[in-house]
């Protein structure tokens, strides 16, 4: 134990910088006490505002959360993970964490990356990113940083696919171009007799009445029947999805 002396003004300064986050405040105090490591523990350690400012400036590492470097570093992390470089990905992550970046900002980018650049090539990637958030919030810094690092390494080494992203972009383009196309009658909801009388739900085929629960019927609006939006990559779990799509198409052809 140390004999610590700290003024109310210094405590208020730490509280203001921490923006109400007790874990950040504790981390700053821990660093301040650490500056006296090796000193006689019986000696009174005086923690003043000047020392705290010095610690905060050292953590900044020339990093501006609202400036160009903020966006350069998150871009470097994203591209390092995309290019399957775990060493660089961890480096840029630690650079940001040690500079005082909000860990949740980094995790939000990881969640985005898991959907945008990995997708169904590894469906576990999204859960890994979400779990990193839960673990960090449960433990707090600095130990909670390890959950972030673990997830960054996983994402960097996961098989990559942007097929979910490109599928979304293609569908979005058609929605914007064609507007609100009508739902085909056979897949409309028909809770009333009147709706059934005018054709809602007529001719609908219940998939579970067919082999392997696969049925040959259309579901897109008539103008878009020729569209094939989803094109899986030949990597990771999407290799299996390619085979599933082929098997589904074979079953549908047998029903014609």
Which phi and psi (to 5°) does residue 202 adopt? -70, 130
pLDDT the model gives residue 28: 82
pLDDT the model gives residue 1: 65
68-157 maps to CATH 1.20.272.10: yes
pLDDT the model gives residue 110: 98
Environment class of 64 (CB within 10 Å of its CB; exposed 0-12, middle 13-18, buried 19+):
exposed
CATH of domain 173-254: 1.10.3710
pLDDT the model gives residue 58: 62
Instruction: For the chain, list residues with pLDDT below 50.
Output: 61-62
pLDDT the model gives residue 64: 59
pLDDT the model gives residue 61: 45
pLDDT in tens, 236-251: 999 999 999 999 999 9
Q: What is the DSSP track for 149-202? A: HHHHHHHHHS----HHHHHHHHHHHHHHHH-SPPPPGGGS---SHHHHHTTTTT
List Cβ neighbours of 67 (8 Å cut-off, separation of 6 or more). Answer: none
pLDDT in tens, 206-232: 999 998 999 999 999 999 999 999 999
In the chain, where the domains are located: 3-59, 68-157, 173-254
pTM recorded for the entire structure:
0.75
Helix axes 86-98, 145-157, angle to 10 degrees: 150
Quickly name the fold that domain 3-59 has: Helicase, Ruva Protein; domain 3 (1.10.8)
For residue 45, the cross-strand partners are 4
List Cβ neighbours of 194 (8 Å cut-off, separation of 6 or more). Answer: none
């Amino acid at each position: 134990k140390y004999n610590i002396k700290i003024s109310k003004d210094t405590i208020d300064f730490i509280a203001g910088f921490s923006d109400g986050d007790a874990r950040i405040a504790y981390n700053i105090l821990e660093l301040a006490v650490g500056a006296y490591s090796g000193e006689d523990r019986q000696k009174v350690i005086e923690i003043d505002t000047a020392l705290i400012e010095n610690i905060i400036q050292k953590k900044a590492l020339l990093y501006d959360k609202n400036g160009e470097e903020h966006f350069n570093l998150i871009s470097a992390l994203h591209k390092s993970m995309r290019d399957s470089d775990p060493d660089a990905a961890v480096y840029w992550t630690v650079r940001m964490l040690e500079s005082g970046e909000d860990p949740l900002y980094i995790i939000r980018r990881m969640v985005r990356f898991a959907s945008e650049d990995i997708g169904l090539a590894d469906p576990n990637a999204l859960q890994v990113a979400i779990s990193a958030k839960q673990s960090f919030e449960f433990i707090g810094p600095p130990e909670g940083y390890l959950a972030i690092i673990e997830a960054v390494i996983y994402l960097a080494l996961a098989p990559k696919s942007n097929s979910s992203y490109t599928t979304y972009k293609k569908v979005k383009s058609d929605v914007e171009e064609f507007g609100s196309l009508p739902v085909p009658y056979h897949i409309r909801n028909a809770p009333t007799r009147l709706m059934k009388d005018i054709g809602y739900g007529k001719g609908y085929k219940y998939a579970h009445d067919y082999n392997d629960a696969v049925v040959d019927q259309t579901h897109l609006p008539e103008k878009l029947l020729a569209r094939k939006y989803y094109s899986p990559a030949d990597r990771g779990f999407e290799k299996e999805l390619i085979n599933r799509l082929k098997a589904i198409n074979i079953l549908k052809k047998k029903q014609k």
